[in-house]
């Protein structure tokens, strides 16, 4: 076995042992950690299968030419706006955005647009914006978006251009 795999097994075994011992010995912080993990895992099991079905449908139904036309090379600012619009409708946060970003990459979206999509999916999802506006006010939400989105676009463009100049290639999963 590889060293990395052995380290992972040891860490996961240590975590499981800590949770079990916390329950047996009545350590409240360990119990709470275990409960939080179980709650998070159940939430993920509710969302992730549906999202992967939607990603599969996206892979099947959306043609490569469509993604290239709206998010590929030569789309200019329009590609970034499409990335933001797609990110606003993404459910599940950043951990769902990465498989979608991979799918966009495999269908010909340029790197800058993909980075914009990932960044925007962390800061401008529609449900999160409504929730934020109801607690902190529309003015706060508008200012945050007006400051955050241009910064996301600028850094995405710079990083995408840099990686494209360096001929970066995404490694294929094994």
Q: How far is CA 28 from CA 39, 42, 126, in A?
A: 16, 21, 37
pLDDT of residue 4: 80
Do residues 41 and 71 both lie within one domain? no
28-61 and 3-25 are packed helices; what angle lies between their axes, rounded to 10 degrees?
130
pLDDT of residue 173: 63
Do residues 72 and 125 both lie within one domain? yes
pLDDT of residue 152: 95
Residue 170 lies in a domain: no
Calculate the average pLDDT of the chain: 89
Do residues 26 and 79 both lie within one domain? no
Do residues 41 and 89 both lie within one domain? no
Query: Residue 49, Cα to own-chain centre: how many angstroms?
Result: 15
Q: What's the whole-number mean pLDDT along residues 48-69?
A: 88
Q: Which domain holds residue 83?
A: 62-165
Residue 174 lies in a domain: no
Do residues 83 and 120 both lie within one domain? yes
Do residues 78 and 140 both lie within one domain? yes
pLDDT of residue 20: 92
Q: What's the whole-number mean pLDDT along residues 18-26?
A: 90
Residue 53 lies in a domain: no
Read off the pLDDT band of 174 (50, 70, 90): low
Q: What's the whole-number mean pLDDT along residues 35-51?
A: 87
Do residues 44 and 115 both lie within one domain? no
Read off the pLDDT band of 54 (50, 70, 90): confident
For 146, phi then psi, to 5°, come to -65, -25
Do residues 43 and 70 both lie within one domain? no
Nearest Cα to Cα of residue 90 among 49, 122, 58 = 122
DSSP 170: P
Quick: pLDDT tens for 101-130: 999 998 999 999 999 999 999 898 888 888
Residue 84 lies in a domain: yes
Do residues 30 and 79 both lie within one domain? no
Do residues 71 and 5 both lie within one domain? no
Do residues 12 and 41 both lie within one domain? yes
pLDDT of residue 48: 82
Residue 99 lies in a domain: yes
pLDDT at 167 > cutoff 90: no
Number of domains in the chain: 2
Residue 117 near residue 88, CB atoms below 8 Å = no
Residue 56 lies in a domain: no
What pTM, to 2 d.p., does this model score?
0.76
**High-pLDDT (> 70) share of the chain, %:** 98
Residue 90 lies in a domain: yes
Do residues 77 and 160 both lie within one domain? yes
- State the burial class of residue 112 (Cβ atoms within 10 Å of its Cβ: 0-12, 13-18, 19+): buried
Rounded-to-integer distance, Cα 135 and Cα 22, Å: 37
Q: Residues of 19-38 as b/e, b for ≥16 C-beta within 10 angstroms?
A: beebeeeeeeebeeebeeee
pLDDT of residue 2: 84
pLDDT of residue 51: 82
Residue 12 lies in a domain: yes
């Amino acid at each position: 076995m590889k060293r990395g795999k052995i380290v992972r097994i040891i860490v996961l075994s240590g975590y499981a042992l800590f949770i079990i011992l916390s329950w047996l010995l009545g350590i409240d912080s360990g119990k709470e950690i275990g409960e939080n993990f179980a709650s998070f895992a159940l939430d993920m099991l509710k969302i992730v299968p549906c999202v992967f079905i939607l990603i599969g449908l996206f892979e099947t139904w959306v043609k490569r030419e469509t993604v290239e036309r709206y998010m590929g090379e030569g789309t200019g600012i329009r590609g970034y706006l499409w990335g933001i619009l797609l990110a606003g409708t993404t459910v599940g946060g950043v951990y769902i955005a990465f498989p979608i970003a991979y799918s966009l990459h495999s269908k010909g979206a340029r790197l800058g647009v993909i980075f914009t999509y990932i960044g925007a999916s962390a800061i401008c999802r529609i449900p999160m914006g409504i929730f934020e506006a109801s607690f902190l006010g529309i003015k706060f939400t508008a200012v945050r978006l007006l400051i955050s989105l241009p910064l996301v676009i600028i850094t995405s463009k710079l990083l995408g251009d840099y990686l494209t100049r360096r001929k970066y290639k995404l490694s294929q999963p094994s």
